[in-house]
Structures are given as C-alpha cells and as structure tokens.
A and B are shown apart, each in its own frame.
Chain A
Amino acid sequence: MDWSVGEESGRYTVVLNDSGGALRLSSVQHDGMETDSPEISITRDDHHGRLRVEIAGTLRLAHVAKVGDSWWIHLDGRIHVVRAREPGNAGTEPSEGSLSAPMPGTVLEVHIKEGQRVRKGQTLVVLEAMKMEHRIQAPKAGEVTELHFSVGDRVDMGEILVQISD
C-alpha cells in the first residue's frame, strides 16, 4: 500500500515491523527515495478509533478514522488526511491495466499465468521490499496478457509487472 499526504501527489511507502504487539517504523520511502524519519512505535489503544503513537520516546494519542480510501488522523491538535494509493502505478493517472512495481524489491509470489482471467481486486503478484509485503491487485476484471517476472526476480521501481486487458 502506498500513501499520499493531503493534497500532495508524492507517494510514500512504509515498512513497519511488528515487535511484540507494537508496530515499529522501519523505513519510509518518498517517491522511491529513503527519507529520514523519527523513531516511531504504534500500538492499539483501548478507546475505539485511537492509537498510541510513541514518537522519539514521547507518547501521543492519535484519533484515526477511515473514510473511503483515506485515513483521517487527529494528532497533536491538528487534523490530517492520508490517502491510500493503489500500488503499481507510479504516475498520477492510473494507466489502463498496466501494473508496475511501486518500489524496488523482489517478487515473492506469483498467483497468475499469462492468458488467465482475473477478477477485480484479485491478488496477482506479491512483492517484498524493505521487509514488507506488497500485494499487487487487479484494478479491474480482465485477462492477463503479459507477465514479465517470476518468483525470486528483482524488480526496479516503475517496471511493468503485469498487463491486463479486457
């Protein structure tokens, strides 16, 4: 899953590690570039719709709510919106049936063959990057016309993985 903050079009990719129930931020990439980030550890809170967020050792409470594809976040008295972006399309416009790698990584699983019909939302390929799994899902129903990689292959960001046509 990629993310965009507010109105900005830049894509963020997040790697979280589960360490004893707490999700620790391992790395953040901004448009494919590693960016600096503070030490962050996030856990559930007893209150519904709230997370405990430890940033560089300081505990904060963040209220969150999912509306459509966006997470609304109330943190430190300010409200922010983070949008989920379909992985696989580096451009701002989703291109027709062409799925590209959202980041450099390794192909972990391939669930389809060329010529196979897939339904919308079906997982086609799983990439591993920055120790996190990314599922590449079909944006629409159709037939797999091109499959460029197999398990274990390295891919670069933006490389076309799968082509689907109606």
Chain B
Amino acid sequence: MNMTSGSLDNAPRPFGTVLVANRGEIAVRVLQAAREAGLRGIAVYSDADASSLHIEVADDAVHLPGSTLAETYLNSEALISAAGDCGAEAIHPGYGFLSERADFAIAVEDAGLVWIGPPSGAISTMGDKISARIRMLESGVPVIPGEELSVPDGADHLGALAACAARVGYPLLLKASAGGGGKGMRAVHEPKMLRTEYEAASREASAAFGDGTIYVERLLSGARHVEVQILADSHGNCIHLNERDCSLQRRHQKVIEESPSPAVDHQLRQAMGNAAVTAAKAVDYIGAGTVEFMLSPKGDFYFLEMNTRLQVEHPVTEMTTGIDLVQKQFEVAAGLQLGMEQSDVGMSGHAIEARIYAEDASKGFLPVVGRLALWKPPHGPGIRVDSGVRQGDVVTTDFDPMLAKLVVHAPTRQAALRRLDAALADLVALGVTTNIGFLRNAAAHHAFASGSVTTEFLDSAPISEFAEPGADPAVLVAIASAAQRLGIERTPSDGASGSVDEHTGHSGDPFRTLSRSFP
C-alpha cells in the first residue's frame, strides 16, 4: 500500500497516527482499520505480549514495562506518554481495559490527543447504574420497573414494602442496593412470601455490605438480551444500526451473538432503535455505542445498560449493514459528520458470531493453557475471523481466554447457521483445548436453532446436551499411530514466520471449501 495521505486529512480534528491502547483481537482489528484509513497504527505491548500478533500488524509498537495489568494496559500515564513518544495524535481504547474509564478519556484530551470514544460525561453517567437509570427515566426510555426502598429504623417497614411491591408488580426481585454477586438478592413470586424474603434479603445485605437498603425490581424471566448499536457524531446526528441478539450466554458471558434478532420484527426494531437513539442523545453521546435491553417474552423491552465503547460482537452489525464501525469511530472522533441518515441504514441477510475460547467445556469451562501447534482458520464466502492469535502462539492465563471470533454472514438465518456449523467444523485448532465443539453443539441445539433461547438457557441446560460426539476410537488410534510412524511433527516455531498469512487466511485449499454450502 502506498497511500500517502490519510482519509482524515481534511477533517476538523485531523490525526494521522493512532495508538491502540489494547491487545489481542481488538487491537489487531483496530490497527488493520487504521492502515485501511491511511493512518499510522501504534501498538502497545507488555512483556507477556512481546511477540503477539497485534504488534505485527502495527506500524510501530511501544513496550509497556511492568508485569501487572495495572502497570501496563491499565496504566493511563504510561499509555499517554507512549502516545507522545511515538507521535500519536489519537488514542483508540478498544474494549475492556480503560475503554469505559471517564478519567482516562479526560486525561487523553488534556494531553492534547484525540480520544476515539464518547465524551467523558457520557461514560460516567452511563457507567453508574443509578445515574444511568435516572437519566433514562427522565428521557422516557423504558427501564425495568423498580424502586429503592429506604426505610428508617422504627418505621413501618412492611407497610412501605408492600406498597412499593404493589407498585412494581409481581414477580419481583429484592436486591441489596449496595449489592452485587447475587448477595442479598431474592425472588418473590407472590405477596405472601414478601415478608420472609425481605427479611432474608435485608439480613444478607446488612451482613455483606453494612447497608440494608433494598431495591425492589420486577423480575423478568424468560427474557432475551437484545442490544442496539448506535452511531452519533459531534454535529447532533445520531442513528441506530439495528439490533444484536446475545441471549446465548453462560453466566452473563456472551457465547454466540447474531443480527438481526429472531425475536424482533420491523416494528419492534424501530421502537427499540428509537429508544436507543433517545438514550444516546440523553447523555450527548458521540461515537459508537451500544444500548442493551432486556426483551420480555411479551415483547416489552427495558433498558439494561449502555456500553460506551465498541463491543466484542460489533462484526455482526458490520456484516449486515455494511458499515465499518471502527472507520466510523475514526471519522466521528476527527469531527466529521456521519454522512448518513437513519434511512440509509440497511439490513442485509443474517450474521452470527461465535466466540472461540481456550477453555474446557467438559470441565466447567475452565480456561486452559498451551501452545497452538496448528491453527487454521476457515475461509470462504461470508466467513470472517477476527483473531488475536496465530499458529505457534502460547495461550496463557495472563489475559482473557478468547482466541478469536468466527463470524458468518448468509442471506437467511438458516443459511447462516449452516455456514457457522461448516466454518466451525473447518476451524483447526490443535494443541489447546477450545470450545469449538461446544459452540457447534450449542448452535445446533434445537432451542437455539429455532431462535427461542433466553438468557437463562445455557445455564439451565445440562452440559451433557452439548457433549462432543465421540469418534470411532479405532480410527483415532490408527491415525495417531500412523502419524507417529510417518514422523509427522511440528516444531513449536513452525508457522511463526508465515503467521500473518495464517491469520489473514492464505490462498486456496480446495478441500476446505468442498463441504461448504453456498445458499
């Protein structure tokens, strides 16, 4: 590429060099987008990442000394001074790490750098559950019905509670206001159980947090997790890019995401999209963000939270709308207009993302370590792999165990499911236990295939429903024995040199596309 000038040269706040304050697949994704935009991309890395893929795709890389995350990827001073050292004019935070820290956004701008993210005020308002809820209520965005119950000692607890519960409605959830981690959380399905559960919740809350204040919230069961991608510029334009359905979760960890949601029709999409735009405007949002909703079985939706950053699952939106969200982040941060209106946002086909983790589903999803002796991502029409690793890399417990995201796009959900299954089957990851088999089984499960899973599905289904089908052991031991005899070995350093090719997908292997259908 011999691009001599960047795409942002004529923007109100132009920048030519961007530092990506992150690692792994999202750093790779953003650095590749920077290159496309004609920007210089700067990577940062800690000792544990000294030979990681994201450094390879950067134009330059700055070492972050120290051994802990606090000293490296969470060290705002070190990151800002790294930006100064290498002449970066902008910082992209990726997701996780410092991406939702208002003080980091402020520090970046105070250093005279362009912050590729929303204003710090939007981050802090949305980062606090209480202030976010209040702002949403004021703006008319539906929130889960609920009230805080603060009863001074000696007052009529139960009378106040019963009145509050009646306003919120049954079934309801009693939560410790100071809480978290399920402590002091009690479900109440009928009024006669209110007193017992309240006393239990209050005791737990006082014991755990030293604060017995209780929050009463409507209990939503059988809900889906549906979120709306929004984009806003600094000129007052704000649009939504349809929804993503992330109902397939394991302990609040998203496993498979898709767009559009099988539970959302055109009318609901408009309603949720409008609510998301309202939510974003309520905090003067700029950039790419996601408004998360709970969608009840009856079709009511409630604001959950807003993620003021790029999401892991952003590719499914990119595949179905054709809009590159990272490029839009660059443009908006540089002060450009969105250049599109709501009516310009299309929705083509169906996209599904599966998160590839180094974990052992048969052992309680324990993260595993090891060396990726063989790593061959699938490729073909409608297949995208956003990867942070390459063949020969060592997977450690230093960081999140996500290795890559496999995203497929096809004209229909049915076709996308078939493509996902074929692509997962084609993904060769040897040397480290992964969840690839689990993902295939989960996606093929009738509950998911029929589009009817709720956020409770994975945690309530027995793991045996996703067990790997065994192969004929005679065949397997014959292959192992033959491989041994034929001396098929891979040295650990194999693949390190050709690794960029392995990652981006090398050219033709006819066998790998033979089994794929092209609907």
Is A5's CB under 8 angstroms from B476's CB?
yes
Q: CB within 8 A of A28: which of B362, B434, B470, B474? A: B474
Tell me whether B403 is interfacial, beta carbon within 8 Å: no
- Residues of A close to B470: CB separation below 8 A: 6
Is B480's CB under 8 angstroms from A78's CB?
no
Question: How many pairs of A and B residues are in contact by the CB < 8 Å rule?
Answer: 140
Is B488's CB under 8 angstroms from A16's CB?
no
Known: A53-B479, A66-B483, A66-B488. 11 other contacts (CB 8 A): A1-B484, A3-B480, A6-B470, A36-B474, A37-B472, A38-B475, A42-B479, A64-B488, A72-B373, A79-B429, A82-B479
Interface residue SS majority, chain A = strand
> CB-nearest residue of chain B relative to A8?
B473
Listed from nearest, the 9 A-B pairs whose CB atoms lie closest are A77-B425, A37-B474, A72-B430, A65-B373, A82-B480, A42-B482, A71-B480, A14-B481, A65-B430
- Residues of A close to B424: CB separation below 8 A: 77
A35 to B472: give the CA distance in the assembly, Å: 11
- Residues of B close to A8: CB separation below 8 A: 473
- Residues of B close to A140: CB separation below 8 A: none
A30 to B478: give the CA distance in the assembly, Å: 12
- Residues of A close to B362: CB separation below 8 A: 7
Tell me whether B471 is interfacial, beta carbon within 8 Å: yes
A84 to B484: give the CA distance in the assembly, Å: 10
Query: CB-CB contacts of A1-27 with B at 8 A, as 1s and 0s?
Result: 101011110101010100000010100
A23 to B477: give the CA distance in the assembly, Å: 13
Question: Can you offer 21 A-B residue contacts whose CB atoms are under 8 A?
Answer: A5-B476, A8-B473, A12-B477, A23-B486, A35-B474, A37-B472, A38-B474, A42-B486, A48-B494, A65-B374, A65-B431, A67-B370, A71-B480, A73-B476, A73-B479, A73-B483, A74-B430, A77-B440, A78-B437, A79-B430, A79-B437
**Distance to closest chain B CB from A53 (angstroms):** 6
- Residues of A close to B429: CB separation below 8 A: 79
- Residues of B close to A3: CB separation below 8 A: 476-477, 480-481
> CB-nearest residue of chain A relative to B429?
A79
Is A40's CB under 8 angstroms from B373's CB?
no
Is A71's CB under 8 angstroms from B475's CB?
no
Query: CB-CB contacts of B468-510 with A at 8 A, as 1s and 0s?
Result: 1111111111111111111011100010000000000000010
> Which of A55-63, A100-108, A156-164 is the interface stretch?
A55-63
Is A71's CB under 8 angstroms from B440's CB?
no
**Distance to closest chain A CB from B473 (angstroms):** 5
Is B481's CB under 8 angstroms from A38's CB?
no
A34 to B376: give the CA distance in the assembly, Å: 36
- Residues of A close to B428: CB separation below 8 A: 63, 74, 79
A64-B488, A65-B431, A66-B488 known; A25 vs B483 contact (CB < 8 Å): no
Is B483's CB under 8 angstroms from A77's CB?
no
Tell me whether B436 is interfacial, beta carbon within 8 Å: yes
Is A55's CB under 8 angstroms from B481's CB?
no
> CB-nearest residue of chain A relative to B421?
A77
Is B477's CB under 8 angstroms from A14's CB?
yes
A80 to B428: give the CA distance in the assembly, Å: 11
Is B490's CB under 8 angstroms from A65's CB?
yes
> CB-nearest residue of chain B relative to A71?
B480
Tell me whether A152 is interfacial, beta carbon within 8 Å: no
* B interface bracket (residues with beta carbon within 8 Å of A): 35 or more
Is B485's CB under 8 angstroms from A16's CB?
yes
Tell me whether B250 is interfacial, beta carbon within 8 Å: no
Residues of B393-451 contacting chain A, CB below 8 A: 424-426, 428-431, 434, 436-437, 440
A31 to B257: give the CA distance in the assembly, Å: 44
A30 to B475: give the CA distance in the assembly, Å: 12
Instruction: Report how many residues on chain A are interfacial, defined by Cβ distance under 8 Å.
Output: 46
> CB-nearest residue of chain B relative to A37?
B474
Q: CB within 8 A of B469: which of A5, A35, A44, A78? A: A78
Query: CB-CB contacts of A36-53 with B at 8 A, as 1s and 0s?
Result: 111010101001110101
Is B483's CB under 8 angstroms from A78's CB?
no
A8 to B471: give the CA distance in the assembly, Å: 13
Is B474's CB under 8 angstroms from A78's CB?
no
> CB-nearest residue of chain B relative to A4?
B477
A42 to B434: give the CA distance in the assembly, Å: 27
- Residues of B close to A71: CB separation below 8 A: 479-480, 483-484
Is A38's CB under 8 angstroms from B477's CB?
no
- Residues of A close to B509: CB separation below 8 A: 47
> CB-nearest residue of chain A relative to B486?
A44
Is B474's CB under 8 angstroms from A73's CB?
no
Query: CB-CB contacts of B178-197 with A at 8 A, as 1s and 0s?
Result: 00000000000000000000
Tell me whether B281 is interfacial, beta carbon within 8 Å: no
- Residues of B close to A1: CB separation below 8 A: 481, 484
Is A55's CB under 8 angstroms from B475's CB?
yes
Max count, chain A CB within 10 A of own CB: residue among B362, B468, B488: B488
A37 to B426: give the CA distance in the assembly, Å: 26
**Distance to closest chain B CB from A107 (angstroms):** 22
- Residues of B close to A55: CB separation below 8 A: 475
A64 to B479: give the CA distance in the assembly, Å: 8
**Distance to closest chain B CB from A119 (angstroms):** 22
Tell me whether A33 is interfacial, beta carbon within 8 Å: no
**Distance to closest chain A CB from B61 (angstroms):** 29
Is B485's CB under 8 angstroms from A5's CB?
no
Tell me whether A75 is interfacial, beta carbon within 8 Å: yes
Tell me whether A93 is interfacial, beta carbon within 8 Å: no
- Residues of A close to B483: CB separation below 8 A: 51, 64, 66, 71, 73
> CB-nearest residue of chain A relative to B370?
A67
**Distance to closest chain B CB from A78 (angstroms):** 6
A30 to B474: give the CA distance in the assembly, Å: 9
Tell me whether B371 is interfacial, beta carbon within 8 Å: yes
Is A23's CB under 8 angstroms from B485's CB?
yes
